[in-house]
Amino acid sequence: MVTQVARSGHEGISSSAETRDLRKAGLKVTLPRVKILQILEANRDGHLSAEDVYRGLMDAGEDIGLATVYRVLTQFEAAGIVVRHNFEGNRAVFELNLGDHHDHMVCIGCGRIQEFKDRTIENRQRQVAAETGFELTDHSLILYGRCRECQAAH
């Protein structure tokens, strides 16, 4: 479920935190960018597809097309505002780039995405890279399985 944002029209855009974030990323402040960023901010703990963002905009009464949502999300990714993930089913989802590293578990039954942090796993990955003479610049760990609810249903 996508959390909606209040419809505010064009007023107050110039002083918002979203405007500051867009300018900091080197992007021109436009109404679609501000509204899409507001949807992402309202769903900070979520992983939203372009269609989820679009539905959130429609529910809030915004007249922003799906093609614009895709274009803005791609711009946000290039600017480092969001991170794109392609989990099970090769469906792209986006989350705000909050600067903290975490890994993901994805339920193959219902598609639920659970974030987690584990210092032992992180340390072991760095150790393996060092042992093999590999300079680690980034990594992504995705575990696939069944969540409790899907296990109970089987």
Known binding-site residue numbers for Zn(2+): 107, 110, 147, 150
What integer pLDDT is reported at residue 19 of this predicted model?
80
Return d(Cα 107, Cα 59) in angstroms, integer. Answer: 27
Known binding-site residue numbers: 101, 103, 107, 110, 122, 139, 147, 150
Q: What is the mean pLDDT of each run of 10 residues along the chain (154 residues)?
A: 46 60 85 93 90 95 96 94 85 89 92 92 95 92 94 90
Task: Report yes or no: 49 and 94 within 8 Å, Cβ to Cβ.
Answer: yes
What integer pLDDT is reported at residue 87 of this predicted model?
85
Q: What are phi and psi of 93, to 5 degrees?
A: -130, 155
Other beta carbons less than 10 A from residue 58's beta carbon: 14
Domains of the chain listed by start with CATH number: 13-96 (1.10.10.10), 103-153 (3.30.1490.190)
Q: Read off the pTM.
A: 0.77
What integer pLDDT is reported at residue 63 of this predicted model?
94
Known binding-site residue numbers for Fe cation: 101, 103, 122, 139
Contacts of 129 (CB under 8 A, 6+ apart): 135, 136
**Which residue do the tokens 């989990």 mark?**
87
What integer pLDDT is reported at residue 25 of this predicted model?
83
